[in-house]
Structure 1
Amino acid sequence: MGSLILSDSSAQCDEKRPHCGNCVKRKHPCPGYRDFFDAVHKDETFLTSHKSAPKRQKKVHSPASDSPDSFLTVTNTPSPNHLDPTLDLSLALLTRPSRNFEMESICYFFTNYVNIPRDPSTNIFIEHILPIYLNTDPNSGLAEAINAAAINVTSMWINRYADSYRAREAYAKAVSILKSSLQDPIESKSDETLATVFMLDFYDSLNRRFVHFVDTGTHQQGAVALLKHRGKHSFTTPLSQRLFNAMRSRHINYSLQFGRRVELDPELLSDDTAVLPSAKLDLLNVELADLLVLARDGPEVAGFTLVEFYQVILERALALEKRLQAWMDALPNSWRPVSIPASELHPSIRDAGLYEGMCDVYSSLAVSHITNAARSSQLGAIRLITRCSEGLTELGIAVDPQIEPDLDVRIQEIVDRFCASVPFHLGNRTTPAYPDEHREYPHVPAELRRLASYVDPFGNEVQMTMEDHVRAAAAIGGWFIMVPLAGFLKARTMTMSRVRPGPLVAKLRKGQVAWIRSQMERIQKIYLFPTNGSSTEHDWKCILKQFCDAQGDGHNLFQPLAFNQRIWAT
């Protein structure tokens, strides 16, 4: 009889808190509350579907229906006589499983950042992480580190905020497990341990750009220690070689970015360790990083006179710039850009940002990213050449008169090609958009696609589609172009310079620097990178500033975690 009474709408559960009203008053089993998320967002799919549903057949009474453990079936189901009376049907129909944000984050991260067809000649480590993740223990340090990074990435898109408590919890677990692994003589030399360090460093790099986090390079130093601990000859498998190249590249670029000397042993920097184009570029960047440190420290530290100081840097910078150009000239055909006429672009792409009608496309974002990194390195060498030439001229020392006009041409060519790559990375985007939202991008010629011979994260041959590119470009296109863009607007100083070299504005076509600045602002809007107007290179502060500095006293809630330093203390 109770089930029949519950079928009356007046006797339905009123979902009062903390206890339901009608069910208690009428002494009937409660069919269960709606999921809170559905209640807030008024998900009326269930109600709507039943307004037009045919009337239920009259329920056949059975002893089981009066059982205190039996609930009313609320959908058009077969007669209860045909059902197993032990099944708790209402539990399956009325109780929705809670959302697993961690699992959703993992899926989102791998779908949009990892599971993208790639050119096998690139070596960005994140492209290789899926096979390692699938073969690791779900409670391992690597799994927790990937969880932390995935939650952070997903939070940035879904909540527009990074460094959630879930991410921090996973990060702390990963650090704790890593500490134990480092104390084990076998685990400390495993690929999984090195991959864990990479993902923790990746997590820190996210927070450096999105929250008020001070990255002291702790995991960078730890990775260098592990590479030295293992030695070159321990990286013999394809996976370990990819790990080695990725971690070495990360350290070299980190050193170049922050003006530090590369701390790797010579055997880890030998030519035989560099097979792929990206690895060969890394070795050239080692020379550039060392040269920038020398220029910053000044002649006194090196024991040079001022003239010797300028001459040594000039000679080394000229040689390095030629080698960087030789690297460009030796790239495989699949790495070479193809120019697309402006007339073939979608009008919205032209409106969003097209410099002088120039647009270059590449076989992949990774190829474009590495090529632009090489261009940035070229400009770094050219800046040193320009400054040293000026310094020697001021001291009355003759320099090759052909250097300056040649550099003017080179600078314009380099910056033009960089500007031409912007539409390939950003398409027609000017505001935040999710990776699954369609946007317009320049189309890549089929012939260039064929040259690339794309593979998936497992090394299987696959096809690259425009939708793959749209998804990847939305996720990482702006990230890949951000640092080189900033590099064109700034220049590292030399100790003996009376003024900063600046972005070589006089060397560029009129209006080009202003266009580059506008693209920087565009990237900030697309990815919601905050800035306080500082001229520092990495001035991307917290997205929700009130969470970082609510008191206005500079208090840093996201200061470097003490246990990071403790891991590597030994």
Structure 2
Amino acid sequence: MVFSTNTSSVRRRLHTKCDQRYPSCSRCLRMKKTCAGYRDQSKLMFRDETLRTQDRARRRHVGKGPNFLNHLTPPPSCFLTPQIQDIAVCYFYSTTLSNLSEKDPARQLQMYLPSLYAKSRIGSALRLATESISHVLVPSLVPDSKLTARKRYDEALVAIQHAIQDPIQAKADETLYAVLLLCGYETITCEITSPSAWDTHVSGGAALIQHRGSSLLESELTQGLFCFVRKSIVLSHMQACSPVDEVFTKPGAYENPENQLFAIASRIPALQNHGLTLLDQSEGADKSHVEKLATTVEAIDQELSHWAGNLPNSWLYAHATEIKTASNAREFSPKHIHRYPDFYVARVWNFYRVSRLILLSLLRRAATLLQTGDDEEQRLGTGNAEKERKIQDIVDDICASVPFLLGHDLSRMTVPASSGMSRQQRQESNIPLVNWGDGNQAKQLPTGSFSLIWPLYVASSAVTVPENQRQWIIRQLQSIAANGDSQAQLALNTPSRTLLGGPESLRFDCV
């Protein structure tokens, strides 16, 4: 569209203001008038002359062919020819950001990516890592995206090797961010033939954190990188039953509940490692050492309970108890179901539950060693029955999160008002309860099914779980695996050993 003041007439009516050399403009001298200088801009009249301009162009070029005007303005594609990697990166950034909860610290970390990417050079570790994970997510938008993703991934590995050999780049935020992006790549592309690749990158990120030392927490970005690495390293070491480096166990002033939770849970792998040798002895164990271990475990379990009991209202969930059961009495159905504010909150709650399962299992094994008799009264006296009840309640809570994280529509689910309800239950009241358990509910997208894999995997090995519930958990994992998640398939192929006191044969990120 052409907006004009008719340039030729403006030249006649709007004079250039005279400077000291020329007391009047040429037109004023010719007309023997005093030049008034610039006209008041508020009095200028603008009009749309698009149609007049087009009509003049047609009259000037009569006889030059009917398609002449089509060539006056180049098509938009001549101006905008984005690179394929730009399409992939933009898609990765926008879709990832839109799927991250406002509460999730990873969202803030993701928002730093554009500026880091823009200032990094072509061929840098960060650029290559970003492009590798981006191409994984756009197979339908970009031709040969999987091949490009793998090529960029291999190039990123080489670039990271060069970066960590440089004293400056080894401590740069871009290098650490690149390693975390490769963790994400391995999580997305997890293959049964290479289940430990994610764990390898997690260890690399932890090594960079340790190398950076006191300069680690200088900015919000570095704090975000630290918390992300700590979350990953705690997950990895819980599965390996190996202690976490003390740099990750120091409490920090992080307001986000997830960061607070992982700061507490970072001490659990060391207790698991201690229990590997101490609690597996059928006889001859030093009971003073067992009692000391049990005391430490109980203290951390209390910290976790305090964390759960002091969350803000935005982290609480609705809890429905009157659930339609399966038609076959022998089939398992959850006794209650949960509805959370979002998938992120549900994931963090399930990590809390797995952490407590590990601690309660350690306490149960310790209590068994401390027994002095075999009768039922002695067993009850050591508190094992109470611990087993807590373990089963936590497993039931994990199962109660399944409908929400699988994307079932729980919008009609509320909780009847009554006295004695928990903080979670008080969130809803006086609307009919939803029935769930027949598998016929319509689903919403996206789902949080990926984050269910590890909690279900660990819960399935709890000694308290009845066989029909165990089979139900396995069916949930089978359903997730059937939708193409290779990590769920890994979980089906290998029974979990976490609650039995042994390291897992595989490592994966499912939170």
Name the TM-score, length of structure 2 as normaliser. Answer: 0.66
- Give the match's secondary structure for 2:493: coil
AA partner of residue 109 (structure 1) = F
Q: Distance in 1 between matches of 2:493 and 2:95?
A: 32
Q: Distance in 2 between matches of 1:275 and 1:212?
A: 36
Q: How does 1:22-421 map to 2 (within 5 A)?
A: 79-84=66-71, 102-116=85-99, 118-120=101-103, 122-123=104-105, 125=106, 128-137=109-118, 139=122, 140-155=124-139, 164-209=146-191, 212-215=194-197, 217-265=199-247, 268-298=248-278, 305-340=285-320, 355-356=333-334, 358-393=336-371, 401=381, 403-421=383-401
Deviation at 1:488, TM superposition (A): 0.6
443 and 310 in structure 1: CA distance in 2 versus 1, 3 angstrom threshold: same
The match for 1:424 is 404
Deviation at 1:316, TM superposition (A): 2.6
Whether the aligned pair in 2 keeps the contact of 1:228 and 1:264 (CA below 8 Å) is no
The match for 1:485 is 456
Q: Highest relative contact order (Cα 8 Å, sep 6+), 1 or 2?
A: 1
Q: Distance in 1 between matches of 2:396 and 2:271?
A: 26
Deviation at 1:130, TM superposition (A): 3.5
- Give the match's secondary structure for 2:395: helix
Q: Distance in 2 between matches of 1:263 and 1:163?
A: 38
The match for 2:52 is none
AA partner of residue 80 (structure 1) = N
Whether the aligned pair in 2 keeps the contact of 1:109 and 1:150 (CA below 8 Å) is yes
AA partner of residue 368 (structure 1) = A
Deviation at 1:183, TM superposition (A): 3.3
- Give the match's secondary structure for 1:80: coil
113 and 536 in structure 1: CA distance in 2 versus 1, 3 angstrom threshold: farther
Q: Distance in 1 between matches of 2:293 and 2:68?
A: 91
Which of 487, 499, 523 is the equivalent residue of 2:480? 523
Deviation at 1:372, TM superposition (A): 0.4
AA partner of residue 271 (structure 2) = L
Q: Distance in 1 between matches of 2:302 and 2:278?
A: 24
Ranges in structure 1 where 5+ consecutive residues have no aligned partner:
1-59, 66-78, 346-352, 429-439, 452-468, 491-502, 539-570
CA offset digits 1:16-37 (Å, max 9, x no partner): xxxxxxxxxxxxxxxxxxxxxx
AA partner of residue 112 (structure 2) = P
163 and 412 in structure 1: CA distance in 2 versus 1, 3 angstrom threshold: farther
Whether the aligned pair in 2 keeps the contact of 1:482 and 1:520 (CA below 8 Å) is yes
Whether the aligned pair in 2 keeps the contact of 1:148 and 1:168 (CA below 8 Å) is yes
CA offset digits 1:45-91 (Å, max 9, x no partner): xxxxxxxxxxxxxxx997x88xxxxxxxxxxxxx2354448x898xx
AA partner of residue 194 (structure 1) = L
Whether the aligned pair in 2 keeps the contact of 1:105 and 1:150 (CA below 8 Å) is yes
Aligned-pair Cα RMSD in Å: 4.1
Q: Considering only CA atoms, is the larger Rg found in Structure 1 or Structure 2?
A: 2
354 and 399 in structure 1: CA distance in 2 versus 1, 3 angstrom threshold: closer
Name the TM-score, length of structure 1 as normaliser. Answer: 0.60
Q: Distance in 2 between matches of 1:297 and 1:163?
A: 48
Deviation at 1:206, TM superposition (A): 3.3
292 and 199 in structure 1: CA distance in 2 versus 1, 3 angstrom threshold: same
Q: Distance in 2 between matches of 1:394 and 1:189?
A: 55
Q: Distance in 2 between matches of 1:522 and 1:298?
A: 38
135 and 320 in structure 1: CA distance in 2 versus 1, 3 angstrom threshold: closer
Q: Distance in 2 between matches of 1:135 and 1:322?
A: 41
User: How many residues of Structure 1 are paired with residues of Structure 2 in the alignment?
Assistant: 395
Q: Which region of structure 1 is more displaced relative to structure 2, 231-240 or 412-421?
A: 231-240
Q: Distance in 1 between matches of 2:99 and 2:87?
A: 18
Q: Distance in 2 between matches of 1:406 and 1:374?
A: 19
226 and 356 in structure 1: CA distance in 2 versus 1, 3 angstrom threshold: closer
Deviation at 1:216, TM superposition (A): 7.5
Deviation at 1:291, TM superposition (A): 1.0
Q: Percent of aligned positions with the same letter in both sequences?
A: 20
Q: Distance in 1 between matches of 2:89 and 2:404?
A: 27
200 and 443 in structure 1: CA distance in 2 versus 1, 3 angstrom threshold: farther
Deviation at 1:245, TM superposition (A): 1.0
Q: Which region of structure 1 is more displaced relative to structure 2, 274-283 or 326-335?
A: 274-283
